[in-house]
């Protein structure tokens, strides 16, 4: 074992250390893939609605497979599943890089490949969540969860900006080639893990297991309300991320600045993670959660105004960067606090299925881009995200009224301080 303590204690396990470092390659590749696909598609079409189609392709397969991917992966050898998913994504992205390099790529290629990667991710991500606990001891779980979060936050800060530079210097094909290498690196890391992660034979069918998880969510009002709020936030409140190439065009900026706009989301998420520690033991956690959700929507108005006024406003780009940071900061605080409540409330025997269904959250963000892209097709991108943020604020207000009357969220939040 390596010598690590405190917040880094999970890294003292050799297998987890290798898995964690390897994950930087594949998670970083995912961030590069997302930003480069959006830029390439907008170059090919200059259409916001087509960016929405890309979001739908990145969302629908993952949503469908996330419901069943975790249950299926539990029946198979998790190590072999993750090796297979990593290799498949590496091959698919290598094909995209080849098409792009030789000028053969078309818009439908980009959308189809996004859909294939999304389908595979429905098996990949639940399997990742099941693998890492087997690489550590129980007392290092909190450290491992925090370290996994660092992978995403740091990748979101660094990779889009790096991708913008690479696109400006060479082209998008190089980004896709590097993404392929990132997943290939993950394949070799997982192949070398000295663990036995054989599947188990379930007593109930996959469909029955999924049904049990859904029934629990709909039966328990705390979960139903938080799931509704989280799903709405990602679908209506974060759709600007899917349309970011269109906003970059409104701001009149090039590839590097487009990458910085996406990297600003990682900066905001990191700030939210640092700030949220001051609130998690508060007896007013329910109000804080609703306030953070509302502020994430309100700051979308600021981003929409600065991008819509880019031609007449000084420092429009810098102001837009600030609002992207603020949106992500408040969204991160909301997500972390609500996740804390849910993790403390969910029964252990349903944890995998319920939190797996919660994982659909992250696929709803690109899907919300389809809705925003459709609105933008007969209005404009700023108008589209303002409409989405307004719908989200209405949902927040409705849930706040329920909370005030019945106190469901307050009861859940109070349990976090016990």
Question: What's the pLDDT score for residue 408?
Answer: 55
Question: According to DSSP H, which parts of 310-380 are helical?
Answer: 316-345, 351-358, 361-377
Chain centroid to CA 98: 27
CB-side exposure of 57: number of CA atoms within 13 Å? Answer: 21
Question: What's the pLDDT score for residue 70?
Answer: 63
- Are 285 and 339 in contact by the 8 Å Cβ rule? The answer is no
State the Cα angle at 417 between 399 and 272, rounded to 5°: 65
Question: What's the pLDDT score for residue 236?
Answer: 93
Show Cβ contacts of residue 299 under 8 Å, excluding neighbours closer than 6 positions. Answer: 323, 326, 327, 330
Name the residue among 270, 22, 273, 6 with its Cα closest to residue 135.
22
Alpha-carbon span 409 to 403, nearest angstrom? 6
Residues of the chain with CATH 1.20.1250.20: 1-200, 203-418
CA distances in angstroms from 11 to 49, 114, 128, 142, listed in the order given: 44, 33, 17, 12
**In the structure encoding, which two tokens stand for residue 124, read together?**
């990949």
Class for domain 203-418, per CATH?
mainly alpha
Alpha-carbon span 202 to 258, nearest angstrom? 47
Question: What's the pLDDT score for residue 199?
Answer: 53
Question: What's the pLDDT score for residue 206?
Answer: 65
CA distances in angstroms from 258 to 135, 164, 271, 369, listed in the order given: 38, 7, 21, 17
Class for domain 1-200, per CATH?
mainly alpha
Q: What is the DSSP letter of 10?
A: G
CA distances in angstroms from 130 to 19, 155, 219, 403, 405, listed in the order given: 13, 21, 26, 34, 38
Total residue length of the chain: 418
Q: What is the DSSP letter of 263?
A: H
Residue 104: burial class (beta carbons within 10 Å; 0-12, 13-18, 19+) = exposed
* Rg of the chain over all Cα atoms, to the nearest angstrom: 21
- Percentage helix, strand, coil, to 5, in the chain? 85, 0, 15
Number of Cβ within a 10 Å radius of residue 342: 20
> Positive or negative, the Cα torsion across 296, 299, 301, 304?
negative
C-alpha torsion 233→237→240→241, nearest 10: -20
> Could you identify the residue written with the tokens 């979101």?
156
- Are 74 and 164 in contact by the 8 Å Cβ rule? The answer is no
Q: Which residues of the chain are under the pLDDT cut of 70? A: 1-8, 69-75, 129-130, 138-146, 196-206, 277-283, 343-344, 348-349, 351-353, 355-356, 403-418
Question: What's the pLDDT score for residue 71?
Answer: 65
pLDDT tens-digit map of 188-219: 998 888 776 665 555 566 677 777 778 888 88
């Amino acid at each position: 074992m390596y010598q690590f303590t405190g917040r880094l204690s999970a890294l003292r396990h050799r297998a987890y250390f290798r898995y964690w470092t390897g994950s930087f390659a594949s998670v970083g590749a995912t961030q590069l893939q997302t930003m480069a696909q959006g830029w390439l598609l907008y170059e090919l079409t200059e259409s916001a609605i087509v960016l929405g189609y890309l979001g739908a392709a990145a969302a629908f397969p993952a949503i469908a497979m996330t419901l069943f991917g975790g249950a299926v992966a539990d029946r198979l050898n998790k190590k072999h599943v993750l090796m297979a998913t990593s290799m498949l994504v590496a091959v698919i992205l290598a094909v995209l890089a080849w098409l792009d390099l030789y000028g053969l790529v078309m818009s439908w290629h980009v959308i189809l490949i996004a859909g294939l990667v999304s389908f595979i991710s429905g098996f990949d991500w639940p399997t990742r969540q099941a693998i890492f606990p087997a690489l550590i001891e129980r007392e290092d779980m909190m450290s491992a969860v925090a370290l996994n979060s660092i992978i995403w936050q740091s990748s979101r800060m660094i990779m889009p900006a790096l991708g913008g530079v690479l696109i400006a210097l060479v082209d998008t094909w190089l980004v896709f080639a590097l993404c392929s290498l990132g997943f290939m690196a993950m394949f070799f890391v997982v192949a070398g893990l000295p663990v036995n992660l054989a599947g188990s034979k379930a007593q109930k069918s996959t469909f029955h297991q999924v049904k049990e998880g859904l029934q629990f969510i709909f039966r328990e009002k705390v979960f139903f309300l938080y799931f509704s709020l989280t799903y709405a936030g990602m679908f209506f409140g974060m759709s600007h991320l899917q349309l970011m190439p269109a906003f970059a065009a409104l701001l009149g900026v090039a590839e590097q600045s487009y990458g910085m706009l996406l990297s600003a989301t990682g900066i905001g998420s990191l700030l939210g993670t640092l700030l949220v520690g001051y609130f998690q033991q508060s007896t007013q956690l329910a109000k804080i959660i609703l306030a953070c959700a509302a502020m994430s929507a309100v700051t979308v108005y600021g981003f929409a105004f600065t991008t819509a006024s880019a031609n007449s406003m000084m420092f429009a780009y810098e102001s837009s960067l600030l609002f992207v940071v603020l949106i992500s900061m408040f969204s991160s605080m909301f997500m972390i606090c609500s996740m804390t409540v849910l993790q403390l409330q969910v029964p252990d025997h349903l944890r995998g299925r319920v939190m797996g269904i919660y994982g659909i959250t992250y696929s709803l963000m690109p899907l919300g881009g389809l809705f925003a892209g459709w609105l933008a097709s007969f209005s404009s991108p700023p108008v589209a995200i303002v409409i989405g943020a307004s719908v989200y604020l209405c949902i927040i207000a409705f849930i706040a009224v329920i909370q005030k009357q019945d106190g469901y969220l307050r009861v859940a939040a109070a349990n976090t301080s016990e």
